[in-house]
Structure 1
Amino acid sequence: MKLLAEIAEEDIGYEMPQTENNYRVRKASRAIVVNALKQIALLYVSKQNYHKLPGGGIERGESIADALSREIMEEVGVEIKVNGEVGLIIEYRDRFELLQISYCFFASMERTKEGPSFTEEEQQDGFELKWVELEEAIELVRDDVPTNYVGRFIQKRDYAFLRAFQERK
C-alpha cells in the first residue's frame, strides 16, 4: 500500500517535541464507502466539530479486511465490497506517545443492515452519519475546525485520504 503521508504535531500547529518518545503502535482500517447514488459515508463528530471517514482499530488477531468490515458495519450499518486501496498514513501523536498507522480503502455499499450502532463514547461525542458527494466531503473536512488534539490529526489524515481518492479517478 502506498504511503501518502506522515503527520506529526508540527503539521497540525504544535511545536516539535524536544524529547524522544517510545510510541505504542495502533493500527486502523478505514474506508471511503460509496453508495448507489455515488455519495460517500462521512461521520460528523458534533462535540468536537469535525468530520471523519468510517473505520477504526484493528483488534489483536484480526486481519485488516476483517477489521474494516466490522468497523463499517458498526459505524455505517452496511456490508461493503472493497474495490481497491487509497493509501497508508502514519500519525505521530506525541501527546499520547502513539504511532497510528491507518490503512484506507475504497469500497462500494453491498447491503444495508440495521444502520449504525455507535458505541456509548461515540454517542456522547455526537456521531452522526452523513451521505455526501465526494467534493462536499472534501470541503467539509477541509473547512472543519476541530476543538481537540485528536480531531486535528483526523482532519489532516482524512483530508489526505479524500484528496488521494479524488486524484485517482
Structure 2
Amino acid sequence: MKNEIITERDLGLEIIEGKEIEFYSKDNNNMTIRYGARGIVEGKDGKIAVIYKKNKNEYKLPGGGVDKGEDFKEAFKRECIEEIGCMIENVEYLFDIEEEHINDNFKQISKVYIAKVKEKLESNNLIEQEKEEGLEYLWLDKKEALEKMKACIENLKGSKYDNVYRTKFVVGRDIRILERYMKF
C-alpha cells in the first residue's frame, strides 16, 4: 500500500515562520523528526476507538510517539493501554504516513496499524497532558467517527501543549487514515 505525506497546503494552513519544538532526531535539512505509531482499534461489535479531547474539541485515533528502545508495534500497544484502556491483538501494519510541518521545521513519520481489542482494562493510564486536555475515549462506527473528525477540524482549540496549527495536522492525518481504512 502507498504511503502518504501531508503538508500545510493539504490542510489549508498558511505557511508562517516556525517555532522550536522538542528534539527527537534531525534529517539532512535539519528538520526535527518524531516517530509515531497509531491506527484503528476495532471492538468486538465492529465499532472503532476514537479519542476525544473535549478541551480542544479534537477527535483523533489512538496512538502516539515511539519511546526510546521501543519498536513501532510495541508503541502502538502501549498507547492503546494508556489512551483507551485496552490490550490489543492481531496487530497488522497498514502503511506509513508522514506529516511535514514547514512552519515548525518538523516532520512526523508514523506507522499505521489495525488491531482488535483483546481485553478491556478497568481504566486507561493517561499522562498529565491528556488529563488536562480532557481526554476520553469513545467507541463509534466508522462513518460517525469520520463525520466527527471532519466536523471538528474547523473548530479546534489550542492548549498549553499544542496549538491549533499542530492539532489540525493530527486531525487531518487521522481523517486520511480512517478514509483509507474504510476502503479496505
Q: Same fold (TM over 0.5)?
A: yes
**Residue deviations 1:135-165, cap 9 Å, x none?**
1111111111323112210111000100111
Residue 13 (structure 2) aligns with: 14
Residue 2 (structure 2) aligns with: 2
Residues matched between the structures, number: 166
User: What are the ranges of 5 or more consecutive residues in structure 2 without an aligned counterpart?
Assistant: 19-28, 158-163
Amino acid at match of 2:2: K
Q: Equivalent of 1:79, from 63, 87, 111?
A: 87
How far 1:87 sits from its partner (Å)?
A: 2.0
User: What are the ranges of 5 or more consecutive residues in structure 1 without an aligned counterpart?
Assistant: none
Determine if the alignment matches structure 1 residue 91 to structure 2 residue 107: no
Q: Matched residues in 1 for 2:138 and 2:146: separation?
A: 13
TM-score in terms of structure 1 length:
0.90
Do the aligned partners of 1:86 and 1:161 also contact (CA within 8 Å) in 2?
A: no
Runs (4+) of structure 1 exceeding 6 A deviation are: none
* 1:15-34 matches, cutoff 5 A: 15-16=14-15, 22-34=30-42
How far 1:17 sits from its partner (Å)?
A: 5.8
Determine if the alignment matches structure 1 residue 115 to structure 2 residue 123: yes
Q: Equivalent of 2:166, from 133, 142, 150?
A: 150
Q: Matched residues in 2 for 1:134 and 1:66: separation?
A: 25
In structure 2, the CA distance between the partners of 1:37 and 1:60, relative to structure 1 (3 Å rule), is same
Q: Matched residues in 2 for 1:31 and 1:122: separation?
A: 18
In structure 2, the CA distance between the partners of 1:118 and 1:18, relative to structure 1 (3 Å rule), is closer
Q: How much is the aligned-residue C-alpha RMSD, in angstroms?
A: 1.8
